[in-house]
Amino acid sequence: EVRNPVETLLVNDAEASRLLAISRSAFHVLVAEGRIKRLKLGRSARYRRSDLLAFTERLAEQAENDATRAPAASTLGGGTSW
């Protein structure tokens, strides 16, 4: 049976990494670091779509915060503006 991943609440690691557009190896590192929550169902691991969305929202917030903290172009390289 072919599932429509848009309709499922839980996805496996292959689907989750595809949704995040990263390799499965990179996805497993994020899980091991605790940045994405894993749910165990028997011997299977599944991931909530809501957790994947929350992860991407945290990344976006971090990127916005990093951008506001970045030094102005005029202070880079001794005042040289690119």
Local confidence pLDDT in tens for the 82 residues of the chain: 666 655 689 999 999 999 999 999 999 999 999 999 999 999 999 999 999 999 999 999 999 888 888 665 555 555 544 3
Tell me what pLDDT residue 68 has.
85
Ramachandran angles phi, psi of 29, nearest 5°? -65, -45
- CA–CA gap between residue 20 and residue 35 (Å, rounded): 13
- pTM > 0.75: yes or no: no
* Consecutive H or E run containing 7: none
The answer to whether 12 and 44 have CB atoms below 8 angstroms apart is yes
User: H helices of the chain, where?
Assistant: 13-20, 24-32, 49-69
Cβ count within 10 A of residue 10: 15
